[in-house]
């Protein structure tokens, strides 16, 4: 019920996918050339989180399913003899949120045995992230109401995800960015799975370089975005995970960027210490904060550059620019 209520609030009835304003063109031919002149509009949905309340992963998953539904309806609509459809193509969307602690398993992974699952779901101590302390009242460090320094204990969930790959972690201090789009939509140059993955990675690495001065690199062997430190060195650490699920060319899931997620210490505070991320031995995980990126945060519209909503907006702008240009083709 909660999901339906929130979905109704965010996606008004009859307006799912933001394609509603094209309905008066019903009888025109909607088949468009690959480099389309139709205006591309990214429908943005940000789920606000504030310590100690975080978005349940299952809620975000069902919301993304609602955002994908108009794309599947469009693809299922009958085509006329010349390949046109009576429906206008739905616009792409971006769902962004900071999740409650969750370990997701890849679709090919078997259910974990009790001992392994027990280690993942042990109580996790979660501190109020730096992103909110930047907007807290000055001098209120010890005031529990100020949102600074408060620590709570949460029990992580373990769930299966439709992506490939092995176990990964999502949780507080992280910004999850899930675009929903049709790789073959007439609204933008067509994408392959490979070029779409590259688009997600390039958008993220561009943001890390320009916002925080982090040397973000790609690893041809392993998906996601990696931070190199020291600059030009050989050691890289994973700063953003990527997972894509495709059904009839409609892409869901996306990128999870570590802003202030704890990446060091024992398993009671460091969620990564409980497993081998993505099954890659000997590779460390990092965050914008751990890479020293918060020192350059500056202000953006009076808000810190480690705030999820601010970063999501900047990521969305860059994503649309690259999508319209046909990057990654």
Cβ atoms < 10 Å from Cβ of 222: 16
**Residues 260/288, Cβ–Cβ less than 8 Å:** yes
Which residues lie below 8 Å from residue 292, measured CB to CB, with a gap of 6+?
Answer: none
What is the distance between the alpha carbons of residues 249 and 247, in angstroms, rounded to a whole number? 5
Angle of helix 308-325 versus helix 193-212 axis, rounded to 10: 130
Catalytic residue selected from 244, 251, 278, 320: 278
Cis amide bond preceding 190, omega within 30: no
Q: Catalytic: 119?
A: no
Beta bridge partners of residue 241, listed in sequence order: 256
The percent helix, strand, coil of the chain (3-state, each to 5) is: 30, 25, 45
Cα dihedral: 242, 249, 207, 293 (round 10): -20
Give 158-198 as a DSSP string: EEE-SSSSS-EEE-TTEEEEEEEEETT-TTS----HHHHHH
Active site residues: 278
């Amino acid at each position: 019920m909660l999901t339906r209520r929130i979905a109704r609030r965010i996606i008004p009835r009859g307006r799912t996918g933001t394609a509603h304003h094209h309905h008066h063109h019903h009888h025109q031919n909607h088949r468009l050339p690959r480099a389309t002149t139709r205006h591309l509009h990214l429908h943005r949905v940000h789920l606000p989180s504030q310590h100690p309340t975080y978005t349940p992963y299952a809620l975000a998953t069902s919301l993304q399913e609602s955002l994908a539904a108009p794309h599947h309806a469009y693809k299922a609509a009958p085509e006329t003899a010349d390949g046109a459809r009576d429906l206008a193509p739905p616009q792409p969307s971006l769902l962004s949120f900071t999740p409650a602690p969750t370990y997701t398993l890849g679709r090919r992974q078997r259910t974990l045995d009790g001992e392994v699952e027990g280690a993942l779901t042990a109580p996790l101590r979660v501190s109020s992230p730096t992103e909110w302390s930047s907007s807290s009242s000055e001098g209120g460090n010890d005031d529990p109401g100020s949102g600074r320094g408060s620590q709570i204990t949460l029990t992580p969930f373990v769930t299966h995800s439709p992506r490939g790959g092995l176990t990964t972690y999502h949780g507080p201090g992280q910004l999850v960015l899930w675009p929903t789009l049709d790789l073959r939509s007439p609204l933008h140059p067509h994408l392959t799975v490979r070029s779409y993955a590259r688009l997600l990675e390039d958008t993220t690495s561009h943001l890390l370089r320009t916002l925080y001065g982090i040397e973000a690199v790609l690893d041809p062997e392993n998906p996601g975005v990696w931070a190199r430190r020291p600059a030009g060195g050989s050691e890289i650490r994973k700063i953003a995970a990527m997972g894509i699920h495709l059904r009839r060319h409609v892409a869901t899931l996306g990128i999870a960027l570590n802003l202030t997620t704890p990446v060091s210490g024992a398993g009671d505070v460091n969620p990564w210490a409980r497993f081998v991320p993505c099954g890659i031995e000997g590779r460390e995980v990092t965050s914008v904060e751990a890479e020293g990126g918060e020192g350059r945060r500056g202000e953006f519209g009076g808000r810190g550059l480690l705030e999820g909503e601010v970063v999501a907006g900047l990521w969305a702008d860059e994503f649309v620019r690259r999508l319209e240009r046909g990057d990654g083709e």
